Structure 1
Amino acid sequence: MMFDRRLIQHFDWGLMLLTLMICFIGLMTLHSAVSAGLDGGDQAYFMRQMVWYGAGLVAMTAVMVFDYRNIDRWSYVIYGGIMVLLICVLFFGKTAGGSRRWLVFGPVSLQPSELAKIAVIVILSRYYSRRVKPGGFTLRELIYPALLTIIPFGLIVEQPDLGTGLTVLLISGSMTLLVKVERRTFLFLGGIGAIAFPLVWFFLKEYQQQRILTFLDPNRDPLGAGYHIIQSKIAIGSGMIAGKGFLKGTQNTLSFLPEQHTDFIFSVLAEEWGFIGASLSVLIFLTLIIWGLNIAYRCKDPFGTILSFGAAALIFWQTFINLGMVMGLLPVVGMPLPLISYGGSSVLTIMICIGMLMNVSMRQFSAD
């Protein structure tokens, strides 16, 4: 098959620039985050993240090169393969921090729950794109996509990883609202959700309940469950308008800020670059999300539209939850900031999402 030169002409340089800007911010913030609190870990963490960025760019390119319509054809294979990985985690996974989330392949640790977000986006895009109708989906028609969502959600929560499981539900819900739900079905599901929501409390593990109570009142246990959020808010507030400067954040350098290279890395950024730097970073993320939604809006193919929207929804929810978490607006659930927090599986997942957006954007001409 001959290469279509129009793909180069339609390459989305804007999307690529936004991605590289976020990666640059991530590397600089990670360098600062690990240079103080982790003994000799600066080069190790920094270099490993560089390797993951490289692997992410390779994955993004691979997804971008093949026509996204092939993703449609292979959706069940992709979904099934990732579900198998999730099942393997329960039996052979590596345990760390009280959770069994990683599969180890030699020197590489992979977190399949991150890839499960991609699986849900792909499989729901296939299902919904074949059944889109003006009146919206009925309750019966939503049973199958609900099962496709509940399977990975259940496997992820079992690890346990409530934050990632919640993201899967939010992505699925966002995609479902995009394709529209019949009015009666929407009201029925809304009522069921309102009734069931308070009951969720009794199914949470004790540490998860403590996180919610700490969110409501961080000072109830300032040296225990509330420590993370209190120190995070101190770091963000101490940055003030212009910040303390690169590598000069005291909460970070004095090791007061926990998980400073993963979940709470935005606190490091805000302390060093202040309100101005934090706002610019959020603006770049917002631009990236709007860019993805615009790709979905311009696409004339239902599968491409839903796929692009799902990818944008993933980036939005992960960014929204992380920022809300570090600022004390949401409970702490262990959510990495896309392309900023340290972590290979998260980087791969976001890069694949961007690759899908790039894929659809580059092939707009083929649907004209």
Structure 2
Amino acid sequence: MIVPGLAVALSGTGLLLVWSATRTQPDQSLLVRQAVAVGIGLALMWLVSRLDLRVLRAYVPLGYAIAVGSLVGVLTPLGVRVNGQHSWIVLAPGVQFQPAEFAKLALVLALAMPLGELREGERRPGFGAVLTALALAAIPMALIVLQPDPGTLIVFCAILAGVILVSGARLRWLAVLAFGAAATVVAAWQAGLVRPHHVERLMVLADPASYASGIGYNAAQARIAIGSGGLAGKGLFNGEQTAGHFVPEQHTDFIFTVAGEELGFAGGAAIVVLLGVLLWRGVGIAARSGSPYGRVVAGGVVCWLAAQSFVNVGMTLGLLPIIGVPLPLVSYGGSSTVACLVAVGLLEAVRRGRASAWARDLR
């Protein structure tokens, strides 16, 4: 139960940081919404952790179809544009969800079908299995490009590369994936889907000072907020940068700046350590899984959460360009929170499946 415990600790820390980041805003419902999302996510995490992977496997095609349908729905009048991205579907006033977050779950489970179900006599996935996996990933990834949402696309690429590697497929497929990713970027550029501000965000890394009052404002303010926290921080709810909302979207993609200012280097490092331990335990679960399917599922979840964590922390520290990727289990966002907690439930389901098989072998 170590992995679920780490998820609870990170979610609780996230609630405190969201509370601090939104305490001076007129809309005080954000904390309540996040608390509800955490509650729903924890319930689903527990439920999924109790499921037999073979039972869950039977519903994967339906889940994948719903995920792709939702991504298509985003591009119709049902979808709404938030911060320049057409990524949301509104269910009711004040109630919306981001299908891409749940598509990550569906993608992990769907890719595990061809890559984690080896035919008799096979030691690794064959040509047909890997080609099927690439086709399954290409559909949602193309829809993400159309939104456009480069941050989510990077996470999808990390999931695909990770499951191919974990499945034991030949490494040349990673070269094929890299070529495909480069071709996609070129095609998106030619189609006008790569916006000028996407390129400018890359330029900020080369010369932050020249863009500090423009496209690089978020990055500059994030570094100021984190740097002002020092070693021990200014104390929870005492951050001046946080209270003044100098960092835009500080309760979502830039939640790590709140931790850096108010909890200091020690608090920020503690969050990174918690995430690192969770990922390390996930790697262990994947390595010890008795079935190829469970190994690929666990490996896909680890690659997903690792990619998001690395990109989010990296962009707030000014090491990576600013893209919209939430910090798993910590950032505000109902869709992301619920999806990540369900992913943790998948890790626990893989672990419990191995433990059950070990107990049967003893008998």
TM-score, with length taken from structure 2: 0.91
- Pick one of 65, 68, 90 that aligns with 1:104: 90
Q: Does 1:239 align with 2:229?
A: yes
- Please report how far the alpha carbon of residue 27 of structure 1 lies from its aligned counterpart in structure 2 after TM superposition: 0.9
CA distances 1:243-290 after superposition (whole Å, capped 9, x unpaired): 111112121122211111111110110111111111111101101111
* Contact 1:135/1:181 (8 A) holds in 2: no
Secondary structure in 2 aligned to 1:340?
Answer: coil
- Please report how far the alpha carbon of residue 61 of structure 1 lies from its aligned counterpart in structure 2 after TM superposition: 2.5
Give the structure 1 partner of residue 108 of structure 2.
Answer: 121
- Pick one of 39, 42, 58 that aligns with 1:54: 39
* Contact 1:229/1:326 (8 A) holds in 2: yes
- Pick one of 15, 22, 28 that aligns with 1:34: 22
Q: Does 1:85 align with 2:70?
A: yes
Q: Does 1:69 align with 2:59?
A: no
2-structure distance, mates of 1:277, 1:179 = 36
Deviates more, 1:99-108 or 1:309-318: 99-108
* Contact 1:135/1:182 (8 A) holds in 2: no
Secondary structure in 1 aligned to 2:90?
Answer: strand
- Pick one of 176, 189, 195 that aligns with 1:202: 189
Secondary structure in 1 aligned to 2:263?
Answer: helix
Give the structure 2 partner of residue 5 of structure 1.
Answer: none
1-structure distance, mates of 2:300, 2:182 = 27
- Pick one of 128, 135, 139 that aligns with 1:151: 139
Give the structure 2 partner of residue 9 of structure 1.
Answer: none
- Please report how far the alpha carbon of residue 135 of structure 1 lies from its aligned counterpart in structure 2 after TM superposition: 6.6
- Please report how far the alpha carbon of residue 71 of structure 1 lies from its aligned counterpart in structure 2 after TM superposition: 1.9
2-structure distance, mates of 1:170, 1:218 = 27
* Contact 2:18/2:332 (8 A) holds in 1: yes
* Contact 2:167/2:295 (8 A) holds in 1: no
Map residues 1-368 of structure 1 onto 2, 5 A cutoff.
12=1, 14-36=2-24, 38=25, 40-41=26-27, 43-91=28-76, 92-107=78-93, 108-131=95-118, 136-137=124-125, 141-182=129-170, 184-186=172-174, 192=179, 196=183, 199=186, 202-203=189-190, 204-368=194-358
- Please report how far the alpha carbon of residue 360 of structure 1 lies from its aligned counterpart in structure 2 after TM superposition: 1.7
| Residues 187/24 of structure 1: CA separation in 2 closer, same or farther (3 Å cut) | closer
2-structure distance, mates of 1:200, 1:210 = 19
Equivalent residue letter for 1:119:
A
| Residues 202/74 of structure 1: CA separation in 2 closer, same or farther (3 Å cut) | same
CA distances 1:78-117 after superposition (whole Å, capped 9, x unpaired): 1111111111111111222222211122242111011111
1-structure distance, mates of 2:74, 2:164 = 28
1-structure distance, mates of 2:68, 2:186 = 28
Deviates more, 1:14-23 or 1:175-184: 175-184
| Residues 186/138 of structure 1: CA separation in 2 closer, same or farther (3 Å cut) | farther
2-structure distance, mates of 1:99, 1:193 = 23
2-structure distance, mates of 1:264, 1:109 = 20
Secondary structure in 1 aligned to 2:222?
Answer: helix
Which segments of 5 or more consecutive residues in structure 1 lack a partner in the other structure?
Answer: 1-11
* Contact 2:167/2:292 (8 A) holds in 1: no
CA distances 1:36-72 after superposition (whole Å, capped 9, x unpaired): 3x2x23x311111111111112221232232122122
CA distances 1:325-354 after superposition (whole Å, capped 9, x unpaired): 111111111100111111000001101101
Which segments of 5 or more consecutive residues in structure 2 lack a partner in the other structure?
Answer: 359-363
Identity of aligned residues (%): 34
Secondary structure in 2 aligned to 1:363?
Answer: helix
| Residues 136/305 of structure 1: CA separation in 2 closer, same or farther (3 Å cut) | closer
2-structure distance, mates of 1:25, 1:294 = 25
1-structure distance, mates of 2:164, 2:203 = 31
| Residues 139/328 of structure 1: CA separation in 2 closer, same or farther (3 Å cut) | farther
Equivalent residue letter for 2:104:
K
2-structure distance, mates of 1:48, 1:151 = 31
| Residues 252/197 of structure 1: CA separation in 2 closer, same or farther (3 Å cut) | same
Equivalent residue letter for 1:46:
L
Secondary structure in 1 aligned to 2:96?
Answer: strand
Deviates more, 1:180-189 or 1:164-173: 180-189
2-structure distance, mates of 1:322, 1:53 = 20
| Residues 123/20 of structure 1: CA separation in 2 closer, same or farther (3 Å cut) | same
Deviates more, 1:180-189 or 1:232-241: 180-189
CA distances 1:211-260 after superposition (whole Å, capped 9, x unpaired): 11123222222111000000101111111111111112121122211111
| Residues 236/200 of structure 1: CA separation in 2 closer, same or farther (3 Å cut) | farther
CA distances 1:112-164 after superposition (whole Å, capped 9, x unpaired): 01111111100111111123887755655432211111110111121121111
2-structure distance, mates of 1:255, 1:206 = 26
